[in-house]
C-alpha cells in the first residue's frame, strides 16, 4: 500500500496542464495508490469467468491468453450489435471537451487520461483502427491505433479509474455516457480475466451467500440481532425483525454494507426502528431475506450477464416468500440496477405474477411509478408516511446535527431521486443546508469509490476523486457550520468518512434512516439519552 | 502540428480545384460530376450510417436523469429533464437538438488555494456552437435560391432579414460574419486551451478548416471576385433538373468553393460530423425515464447461464440456518 501524501501536498500537486507529447505516445505508468489488486483466481472461477490466473499489474507479463486480441475483437464486434449506446458513442464524439473537466478524478488528479473524452478515446482509437474503413486506411491520421499489450494495460488502468458516476454524460451535447463505455470496456477485459479483486470477490461472495461480504445466513441473523441489542439498550424497545418469512407482505433488501461497517450500521438500525414502529402501530409485515441479502450488485462492474445472475435472487426470493412487493434500502448503484435494468433483466423470467403494484397499506398510496418493477425506494416509502402524518418524529434529538445532502451519483443520474430524501431530512433534523449548485443534484460529485474502487490499496486515487465532493462540503461547513453529510448510498457511507477525515475532518457521514431512527418516537420507549451512535443527545450531556 | 496538417490538406484541396477547373479547364468535372457524386455519397452514406446504428439493439433503458423523477403525487416532477411521457421525451430532445441544453449547463472548475475547488458558469462553448450551427443552417437555406425557381418567399424573407443592415453592395449578410467568427472561435479554442489541444486530432481540425475554407471562398466570390451570379444559377438549376450544362466565365473561385463543399459532403458520413444524425439515437437522451413503470424489452436473450437457486443455497447452509431458527424448506 502506498503512503498517502498530506492533503495540502496532494492538492498542490494537481496540474491540469497536459504534457506536450501526443497522448498516444505517452506510455501507461501504473502508479501504486491508484490501482486495485488483481482478482483472486478462485473468485473468478467460482462464477465461471474465463482465464482466471494469478497476475500482478506491476509485472511486465500479464500472462494473457495467446489469442487475446481475437477475444477482444470478437467481444467488441458482439457488443456493437448488442448495444446501440456503444456503437453510437464510438462514432459521434466530436471531442468538444465539454466533459473534460467534469470528472472528479480529472479534477483531483490532473491526469489527462481521466478526462472522460480521452478515457473513451482509449477504446475508440482501437475501434477506429479495427472496425472503420477510414481508420484502417488512414491510421493515426484518423485517430486510430493498433491494439497492443501497452494499450490493453492502459485500458485496464484507466477503466478502473472511472467510478461510472455518469456526471460527464449530463454535460455531453449528445448524451455520450462514458460509464457506458467503461462498462463495455470492463466487459471486454473481463473476457481476459483482467478484473480487480475488490470486484471479483464480492461478486463470488454474492453469488454464493447472497451478499458481497460473504455473510452466511446465521451470521447475517447475528449481526442484525446485535443491532437489536443496541436498539434495546438505547430505546428500551427490542425490534423483532423477521427473516425469510413466507407470506410476509413486503420484502426488504438493502446493501450488505449496512449490516457490516459504521456508519452504515446506524442506518441499518434506523431501518429496524422504522419497521418495528410500523409493525407495532399499523401491523406492517416486512421480512428480510438471508438469501437475497444484498441490494448492491457488483456484477454490474463485470458484465451485464453477471449483473443479471446476481439480481435474479431478489425476484426469485420475492416469489418464494410470496410477498406482494419490495422495498429497497439506501444504496447507489443498486438503485441504478433496480431502476434501469432489473425489470428488463429478470422481470419476465423471475417476477411472480402474484405481486401487486406497491401500495402503502398505512397511507393507501399506490406507487404507480413502480407499477412494473414492484419495487420502491425506502425514501419514497418514508416520505409518503411523513406526508400523511403517520410517524411521530422528534427532530430535537438530532439538534446537534447540521446536515447537508450528498446526492448519490446513481440515484441522481440514473433515477432522479432528489426531493424525497430532502423532504425526509427536513422533517428529522432542525438544521439543513444544501451545498452550492453545480455540486449537487444531477451535477453531484462522486465519492470517488464507486464501481468497485473502494479497495484500501487505491486510497490515493480515492482522495483525489473525493476532492470536488469534499470541497463543496468544506464550503458549507465553514460558511454555515454544517457538521454532517447525509447520503443514500452504502458506498458513500464506506468511502466518504475517510474522505471527510482527509479533507474536512470536522464533518461526519450518515445515512438518512439513521436520522429517522434517532427522531422516531416508538410508543412505550424509554427516554433516550444517546443517539444510535451511542453519543449523548443534545441536552442530555450532564445527566 | 495536427492543425497545420489539416490546414495544408485544405490548401491542397483548393489547389486541386484551382488547377483542375482553372488551368486544365475541367469545368464539367468540377462543376457537375464531382458535386453530383458528392451529394450521392452524402445521402447514401448518411442513411447507411444511421441504418447501421439503428440495427444495433437497445437492450436497456439507460437515460441520464437530470431532474426529479416521477414519484409521489405531491413531489413536483421535472417532466422534461426526467420525462416519464413521450411528450416529455420529445421536448427533452428538442431542447437538446435546437438549443444545446446540455452544453448550456457547462461550467468550469477552478482550483483555489486552501484546497478549495469552485465552479464558474462557462457558456462560451454553448454560444459558439449555437452561433456556428445556426448561421450554417441559415446560409444553407439561403443557398436554396440557387436550386429553386421561383425562389420561395421564406428564402427571400431570410435573406432580407439577414442583410438588414444594408452594408456594402452586394449587401452584407450578418450570418456570414457570425459564421466566420464562430468557426474561428471553435478553432482558436482547440489551439489555445491546453486540455482541448491535447484531445484534438486531425479529424477535429480538418473539418473546421474545410468549413472555414468554404466560407471564405464563398464570401470572396460574393463580395470581392463577384462571380456571374446568373451563370451560377444556370449551372445549379441545370444540376437539379438534370439538364447539365456549364456556362462560360463563372470564375475559378466558384469551382474551388464547390469542390470544398463536395469534399465536405463526402467526408461527412465517414467522420464525427455524423453527430448530426447520432444525436437523435442517443439512448441516454431519447428514452423514457419511467423504467420502473414500463417494462423495457431487451430484443436479445442472455445465453443460458446458471443461477444460484434458493435450493442450492439452503443445501449449503441448512444446518446453520436451523441452528439459528431461520425457516427452511427441507428439515435436517
The β-bridge partners of B118 are B110
Q: Is A365 on the interface with B (CB under 8 A)?
A: yes
**Closest by Cβ to A169, choosing from B5, B56, B284:** B284
pLDDT (tens digit per residue) in B261-278? 999 999 999 999 999 999
Chain B nearest-CA distance from A371, in A, is 5
Mean pLDDT of A170-199: 96
The β-bridge partners of A393 are A520
In the predicted structure, residue A63 carries a pLDDT above the cut 50: yes
Of B139, B138, B107, which is closest to residue B125 (Cα–Cα)? B107
Indicate the range of A127-141, A493-507, B36-50 predicted with least confidence.
A127-141
pLDDT band at A1 (very low <50, low <70, confident <90, very high): very low
Q: How far apart are CA B244 and CA B132, in angstroms?
A: 33
Average pLDDT value over all residues in chain A: 96
Is residue A259 a contact partner of residue A209, using CB atoms and an 8 Å limit? Answer: no
Of A346, A336, A305, which is closest to residue A177 (Cα–Cα)? A336
pLDDT (tens digit per residue) in A209-233? 999 999 999 999 999 999 999 999 9
Which chain B residue's Cα is nearest to A77?
Answer: B56
Which residues in chain B are closer than 8 Å to A368, comparing Cβ atoms?
Answer: 293
**Closest by Cβ to B308, choosing from A132, A208, A418:** A208
The three grid cell numbers given for residue A461, joined into one nine-digit string? 486515487
pLDDT for position A541? 75
What totals of helices (H) and strands (E) does chain A contain, helices first?
22, 9
Q: Is the peptide bond before B170 cis (omega within 30 degrees of 0)?
A: yes
Q: Is B53 on the interface with A (CB under 8 A)?
A: yes
pLDDT (tens digit per residue) in B2-42? 899 999 999 999 999 999 988 888 888 998 999 999 999 99
- Higher-confidence residue of B240 and A279: namely A279
Which residues in chain A are closer than 8 Å to B295, comparing Cβ atoms?
Answer: 343-344, 347-348, 372
Mean pLDDT of A307-331: 97
Q: Is B282 on the interface with A (CB under 8 A)?
A: yes
pLDDT (tens digit per residue) in A445-473? 999 999 999 999 999 999 999 999 999 99
Find cell 464550503 and name the residue.
A475
In the predicted structure, residue A543 carries a pLDDT above the cut 70: no
In the predicted structure, residue A300 carries a pLDDT above the cut 70: yes
pLDDT band at B168 (very low <50, low <70, confident <90, very high): confident
pLDDT (tens digit per residue) in A467-491? 999 999 999 999 999 999 999 999 9
Which is it for the CA torsion B217, B218, B224, B227, positive or negative? positive
Is residue A450 a contact partner of residue A332, using CB atoms and an 8 Å limit? Answer: yes
Q: Do B195 and A91 touch (CB under 8 A)?
A: no
Q: Do B57 and A84 touch (CB under 8 A)?
A: yes
Which residues in chain A are closer than 8 Å to B208, comparing Cβ atoms?
Answer: none
Q: Is A172 on the interface with B (CB under 8 A)?
A: yes
**Closest by Cβ to A380, choosing from B65, B72, B196:** B72
Q: Is B284 on the interface with A (CB under 8 A)?
A: yes
**Closest by Cβ to A87, choosing from B53, B81, B197:** B53
pLDDT for position B116? 87
Which residues in chain A are closer than 8 Å to B285, comparing Cβ atoms?
Answer: 174-175
Q: Is B332 on the interface with A (CB under 8 A)?
A: no
Q: Do B198 and A475 touch (CB under 8 A)?
A: no
Q: Is B110 on the interface with A (CB under 8 A)?
A: no
Please write down the HEC assignment for all residues of A465-492: HHHHHHHHHHHHHHHHCCCEEEECCHHH
Q: Do A107 and B196 touch (CB under 8 A)?
A: no
Mean pLDDT of B303-310: 89
Is residue A163 a contact partner of residue A450, using CB atoms and an 8 Å limit? Answer: yes
Q: Is B96 on the interface with A (CB under 8 A)?
A: yes
In the predicted structure, residue A188 carries a pLDDT above the cut 90: yes
pLDDT for position B305? 82
Helix or strand holding residue A405 (H, E): strand A402-406
pLDDT (tens digit per residue) in B68-112? 999 999 999 999 999 999 999 999 999 999 999 999 999 999 998
**Closest by Cβ to B115, choosing from A118, A372, A503:** A503
**Closest by Cβ to B275, choosing from A94, A246, A372:** A94
pLDDT for position A2? 54
Is residue A503 a contact partner of residue A466, using CB atoms and an 8 Å limit? Answer: yes
pLDDT (tens digit per residue) in A71-104? 999 999 999 999 999 999 999 999 999 999 999 9
DSSP A294-328: ----GGGGT-HHHHHHHHHHHHHHHHHHT-SEEEE
Which chain A residue's Cα is nearest to B290?
Answer: A369
Q: Do A80 and B56 touch (CB under 8 A)?
A: yes
Mean pLDDT of B189-194: 95
pLDDT for position B240? 86
pLDDT for position B281? 96
Chain B nearest-CA distance from A191, in A, is 15
The three grid cell numbers given for residue B77, joined into one nine-digit string? 416532477
**Closest by Cβ to B65, choosing from A19, A413, A438:** A413
Average pLDDT value over all residues in chain B: 93
Chain A nearest-CA distance from B85, in A, is 12
The overall pTM is greater than 0.90: yes
Q: How far apart are CA B292 and CA A340, in angstroms?
A: 7
A-B C-beta contacts closer than 8 Å = 316
Chain A nearest-CA distance from B238, in A, is 33
pLDDT for position B239? 87
Q: How far apart are CA A6 and CA A271, in angstroms?
A: 37
The three grid cell numbers given for residue B43, joined into one nine-digit string? 445521402
**Closest by Cβ to A320, choosing from B109, B310, B323:** B310
The three grid cell numbers given for residue A306, joined into one nine-digit string? 453477471
Long-range CB pairs of B194-198 (<8 Å, 24+ gap) are B194/A16, B194/A17, B194/A18, B195/A16, B195/A17, B195/A18, B195/A97, B195/A100, B195/A101, B195/A112, B195/A115, B196/A95, B196/A97, B196/A100, B197/A18, B198/A18, B198/A19, B198/A23, B198/A112, B198/A118
Q: Is A322 on the interface with B (CB under 8 A)?
A: no
Mean pLDDT of A241-259: 96
Q: How far apart are CA A437 and CA A445, in angstroms?
A: 11
pLDDT band at A520 (very low <50, low <70, confident <90, very high): very high
Which one of A13, A25, A48, A88 makes the best mutation probe of the B interface by having the most chain B beta carbons within 10 Å?
Answer: A88
Chain B nearest-CA distance from A113, in A, is 9
**Closest by Cβ to A88, choosing from B53, B100, B298:** B53
Mean pLDDT of A177-182: 96
Which one of B6, B71, B329 makes the best mutation probe of the A interface by having the most chain A beta carbons within 10 Å?
Answer: B71
pLDDT for position A542? 65
Which one of B69, B104, B206 makes the best mutation probe of the A interface by having the most chain A beta carbons within 10 Å?
Answer: B69
Amino acid at each position: 500500500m502506498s503512503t498517502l501524501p498530506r492533503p495540502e501536498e496532494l492538492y498542490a500537486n494537481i496540474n491540469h496542464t497536459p504534457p506536450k507529447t501526443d497522448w498516444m505516445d505517452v506510455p501507461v505508468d501504473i502508479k501504486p495508490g491508484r490501482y486495485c489488486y488483481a482478482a483472486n483466481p478462485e473468485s473468478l472461477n467460482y462464477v465461471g469467468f474465463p482465464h482466471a490466473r494469478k497476475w500482478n499489474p506491476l509485472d511486465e507479463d500479464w500472462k494473457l491468453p495467446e489469442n487475446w486480441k481475437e477475444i477482444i475483437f470478437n467481444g467488441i464486434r458482439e457488443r456493437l450489435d448488442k448495444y446501440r449506446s456503444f456503437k453510437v458513442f464510438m462514432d459521434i464524439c466530436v471531442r468538444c471537451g465539454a466533459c473534460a473537466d467534469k470528472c472528479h478524478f480529472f479534477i483531483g488528479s490532473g491526469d489527462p487520461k481521466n478526462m472522460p473524452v480521452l478515457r473513451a478515446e482509449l477504446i475508440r482509437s482501437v475501434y477506429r483502427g479495427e472496425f472503420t474503413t477510414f481508420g484502417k486506411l488512414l491510421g493515426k491520421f484518423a485517430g486510430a491505433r493498433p491494439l497492443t499489450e501497452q494499450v490493453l494495460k492502459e485500458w485496464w488502468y484507466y477503466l478502473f479509474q472511472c467510478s461510472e458516476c455518469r456526471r460527464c454524460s449530463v454535460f455531453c451535447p449528445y448524451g455520450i455516457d462514458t460509464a457506458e463505455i467503461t462498462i463495455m470496456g470492463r466487459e471486454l477485459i473481463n473476457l481476459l480475466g483482467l478484473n480487480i479483486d475488490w470486484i471479483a470477490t464480492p461478486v463470488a461472495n454474492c453469488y454464493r451467500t447472497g451478499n458481497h461480504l460473504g455473510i452466511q445466513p446465521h451470521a447475517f441473523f447475528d449481526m442484525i440481532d446485535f443491532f437489536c441489542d443496541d436498539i434495546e439498550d438505547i430505546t428500551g424497545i427490542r425490534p423483532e425483525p423477521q427473516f425469510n418469512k413466507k407470506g410476509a407482505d413486503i420484502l426488504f433488501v438493502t446493501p450488505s454494507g449496512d449490516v457490516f461497517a459504521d456508519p452504515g450500521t446506524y442506518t441499518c438500525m434506523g431501518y429496524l426502528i422504522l419497521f418495528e414502529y410500523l409493525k407495532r402501530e399499523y401491523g406492517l409485515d416486512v421480512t428480510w431475506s438471508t438469501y437475497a441479502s444484498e441490494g448492491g450488485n457488483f456484477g454490474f462492474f463485470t458484465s451485464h450477464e453477471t449483473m443479471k445472475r446476481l439480481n435474479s435472487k431478489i425476484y426469485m426470493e420475492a416469489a418464494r416468500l410470496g410477498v406482494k412487493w419490495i422495498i429497497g434500502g439506501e444504496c447507489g448503484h443498486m438503485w441504478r440496477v433496480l431502476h434501469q435494468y432489473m425489470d428488463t433483466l429478470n422481470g419476465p423470467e423471475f417476477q411472480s405474477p402474484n405481486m401487486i403494484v406497491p401500495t402503502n397499506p398505512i397511507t393507501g398510496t399506490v406507487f404507480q411509478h413502480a407499477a412494473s418493477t414492484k419495487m420502491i425506494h425506502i425514501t419514497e416509502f418514508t416520505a409518503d408516511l411523513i406526508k400523511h402524518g403517520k410517524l411521530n418524529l422528534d427532530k430535537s434529538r438530532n439538534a446537534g446535527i447540521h446536515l447537508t445532502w450528498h446526492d448519490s451519483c446513481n440515484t441522481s443520474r440514473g433515477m432522479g431521486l432528489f426531493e424525497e430524501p430532502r423532504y425526509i431530512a427536513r422533517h428529522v433534523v432542525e438544521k439543513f443546508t444544501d451545498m452550492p449548485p453545480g455540486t449537487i443534484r444531477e451535477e453531484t460529485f462522486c465519492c470517488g469509490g464507486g464501481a468497485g474502487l473502494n479497495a484500501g490499496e487505491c486510497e490515493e486515487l480515492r482522495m483525489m476523486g473525493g476532492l470536488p465532493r469534499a470541497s463543496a462540503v468544506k464550503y458549507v461547513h465553514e460558511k454555515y457550520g454544517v457538521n454532517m453529510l447525509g447520503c443514500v448510498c452504502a458506498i458513500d457511507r464506506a468511502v466518504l468518512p475517510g474522505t471527510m477525515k482527509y479533507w474536512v475532518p470536522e464533518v461526519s457521514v450518515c445515512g438518512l434512516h439513521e436520522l429517522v431512527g434517532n427522531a422516531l418516537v416508538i410508543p412505550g420507549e424509554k427516554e433516550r439519552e444517546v443517539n444510535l451512535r451511542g453519543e449523548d443527545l443534545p441536552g442530555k450531556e450532564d445527566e | 502540428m495536427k492543425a497545420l496538417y489539416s490546414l495544408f490538406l485544405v490548401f491542397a484541396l483548393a489547389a486541386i480545384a484551382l488547377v483542375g477547373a482553372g488551368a486544365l479547364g475541367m469545368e464539367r468535372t468540377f462543376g457537375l460530376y464531382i458535386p453530383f457524386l458528392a451529394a450521392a455519397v452524402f445521402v447514401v452514406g448518411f442513411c447507411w450510417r444511421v441504418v447501421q446504428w439503428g440495427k444495433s439493439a437497445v437492450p436497456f433503458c439507460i437515460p441520464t436523469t437530470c431532474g426529479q423523477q416521477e414519484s409521489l403525487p405531491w413531489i413536483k416532477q421535472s417532466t422534461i429533464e426526467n420525462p416519464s411521457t413521450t411528450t416529455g421525451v420529445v421536448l427533452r430532445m428538442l431542447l437538446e437538438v435546437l438549443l444545446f441544453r446540455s452544453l448550456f449547463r457547462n461550467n468550469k472548475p477552478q482550483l483555489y488555494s486552501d484546497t478549495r475547488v469552485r465552479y464558474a458558469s462557462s457558456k462560451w462553448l454553448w454560444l459558439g456552437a449555437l452561433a456556428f450551427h445556426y448561421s450554417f443552417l441559415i446560409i444553407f437555406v439561403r443557398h436554396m435560391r440557387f436550386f429553386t425557381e421561383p425562389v420561395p418567399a421564406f428564402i427571400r424573407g431570410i435573406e432580407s432579414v439577414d442583410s438588414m443592415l444594408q452594408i456594402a453592395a452586394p449587401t452584407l449578410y450578418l450570418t456570414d460574419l457570425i459564421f466566420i467568427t464562430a468557426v474561428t472561435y471553435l478553432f482558436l479554442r482547440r489551439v489555445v486551451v491546453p486540455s482541448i489541444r491535447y484531445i484534438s486530432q486531425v479529424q477535429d481540425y480538418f473539418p473546421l478548416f474545410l468549413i472555414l475554407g468554404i466560407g471564405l471562398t464563398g464570401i470572396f466570390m460574393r463580395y470581392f471576385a463577384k462571380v456571374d451570379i446568373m451563370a451560377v444559377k444556370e449551372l445549379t438549376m441545370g444540376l437539379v433538373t438534370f439538364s447539365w450544362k456549364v456556362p462560360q466565365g463563372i470564375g475559378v473561385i466558384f469551382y474551388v468553393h464547390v469542390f470544398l463543399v463536395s469534399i465536405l459532403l463526402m467526408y461527412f458520413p465517414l467522420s464525427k460530423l455524423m453527430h448530426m444524425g447520432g444525436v437523435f439515437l442517443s439512448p441516454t437522451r431519447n428514452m423514457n425515464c419511467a423504467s420502473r413503470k414500463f417494462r423495457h424489452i431487451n430484443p436479445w436473450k442472455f445465453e443460458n447461464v446458471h443461477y444460484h437457486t434458493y435450493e442450492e443455497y439452503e443445501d449449503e447452509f441448512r444446518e446453520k440456518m436451523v441452528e439459528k431458527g431461520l425457516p427452511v424448506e427441507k428439515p435436517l
